Structure 1
Amino acid sequence: MVVLATKVYVRGETRRRAMDSLESLVANDLADLEVEFTLGLRDDGFPSVTITGEDAPVARNLLEEEWGAITPHREAGEVHVGTLESWDDDGVTLDAGEDVRVPADELGLGQGTPSQVRRRFGLVQHMPLRFVEGGEGEENRLADAERDRLYDWTRGTGRVNANSVTRAQLRATVNRAGHADDIVTVERLGLLEQSVVCKEDTDAPGLLSDVGPHLESELLAVVP
């Protein structure tokens, strides 16, 4: 079994659509392998995938690479994935099946409080983030690859990040708001966390203000 490092925290019909979407995504990921799978949802909101068949070990590795995995056994110095749960002046808390604390000094994303850093880099709640497990006497920290990804966002053309919405729903909302020609694509950050990549001449805060009223989501603009 693989527990995917992306959370399902919505309710009702939205939850059903999210799980249907995840099932389709997992089926696509495993389409070339000789396996069968069953999708479940843990009480803490993390999806589990039970896999059987000849290629089961390969399938588990593939899903871990694509989504990250929640595991109770984390070795010091290894990179893992947790979802952004909360933040305060002293750091951020990630959910990796249990609370993982990353102190403000270990974010490695420049000056400002964790709240300011979060808004500057568009870190919407529940977004998956890679971190390095601290060893004895060492703090947890954001992974170098994660820091590089976030800094690349601030050097790009602008983004609008959203949670509580599937990729298809967000793309449809952007289209309904009349901005289909103003974006490059919608990138999937997690199952319910997406990033709208703006074209060079598109104003990210303006896009946010037009799209926001149509969504029950947290939206944050990343401005180069």
Structure 2
Amino acid sequence: MVVLASKLYVEGDARSRATDSLRSQVDNVVGDLDVSVDVEIRDDEFPEVTVEGADATAARNALAEEWGEVTPEFEAGGEYVGTLESWDDEGFVLDAGFGRDVRIPSEEIGLGQGTPEQIRTRFGLVQHLPMRFVAGGDGEPARLSDAERDRLYDWTRGAGRVNVNSATRAETRATVNRAGHAHDIVTVERLGLLEQSIVCQEDTDPPGLLASIGQYMPAELLCVVP
């Protein structure tokens, strides 16, 4: 069993589409292996994938590598994945599954000056975004991992992005096309099952793109401006 570190929190038809998309993506990852898989969405909204067969260990490792894995226990200093649940003046709160929230104090975010809200906006951190953290212990608080900080700083060095939640990658691509901006982007990068990053062309203005596509997307959208 693998609990994937990406939540499925939409309802109705959107939930059905997202679940179908997840099953298709899981099949793409493990389809060449000798396994059978069953995908269920847990009460905490994290997908649980049960894997059986001769290649079950390889399949579980491949899924954990692709999505990140929510684990029932932490070791101090170990690196794990949680999803951005909330934020306040004291820092970020990540949902790490199994009924646990992990607080990242503001001084342990490590993404430069500003309040947690200002940092969230500057780096385009939409709610539910999967983020890597280092577990605390022995009186030490949790912190964002070095790899996570590097990833987010890389976003600010490119041509710009528009990050969205509550939409699959296919839905995000379709929305960009519908708004007539297919030529203004490089790609749509999957950050999680329902969190995507629209990577802009060099001459594309991220706030302008956000304003144009926002009317078509019932989602949170945040810009990353270099």
TM-score of the aligned structures, taking structure 1 as reference length: 0.99
Distance 2:87 2:170 in 1: 29
Residue deviations 1:141-198, cap 9 Å, x none? 0000000000000010000000000000000000010100000000000000000000
Residue 55 of structure 2 aligns with which residue?
55
Alignment of 1:125-164 (within 5 A): 125-164=127-166
Q: Distance in 1 between matches of 2:217 and 2:205?
A: 19
SS in 2 for 1:9: coil
Deviations 1:96-135 (A, max 9, x none): 0110000000000000000000000000000000000012
Instruction: Measure, in 1, the Cα distance between the counterparts of 2:126 and 2:13.
Output: 22
| Residues in 1 aligned to 2:30 and 2:124: alpha-carbon distance in whole angstroms | 31
Q: List structure 1 runs of 4+ shifted beyond 6 angstroms.
A: none
SS at match of 2:43: coil
Structure 2 portions without partners, runs of 5+: none
Structure 1: unaligned runs, 5 residues or longer: none
Map 1:39-118; keep pairs closer than 5 Å.
39-97=39-97, 98-118=100-120
Deviations 1:52-86 (A, max 9, x none): 00000111111111111111111111110000000
How many positions carry a matched residue from both structures?
Answer: 224
Distance 1:81 1:73 in 2: 12
Residue 44 (structure 1) shift = 0.6
Residue identity opposite 1:141 in structure 2: R
Which residue identity is paired with 2:172? Answer: L
Aligned to 2:186: 184
Give the Cα–Cα distance (whole angstroms) in 2 for the partners of residues 24 and 170 of structure 1. Answer: 17
> What residue identity is the alignment partner of 1:179?
H
1:199 corresponds to which residue? 201
What TM-score do the two structures reach when normalised by structure 2? 0.98
Q: Aligned partners of 2:42 and 2:94: how far apart in 1?
A: 17
Q: Distance in 2 between matches of 1:156 and 1:134?
A: 32
What letter corresponds to residue 50 of structure 2 in structure 1? T
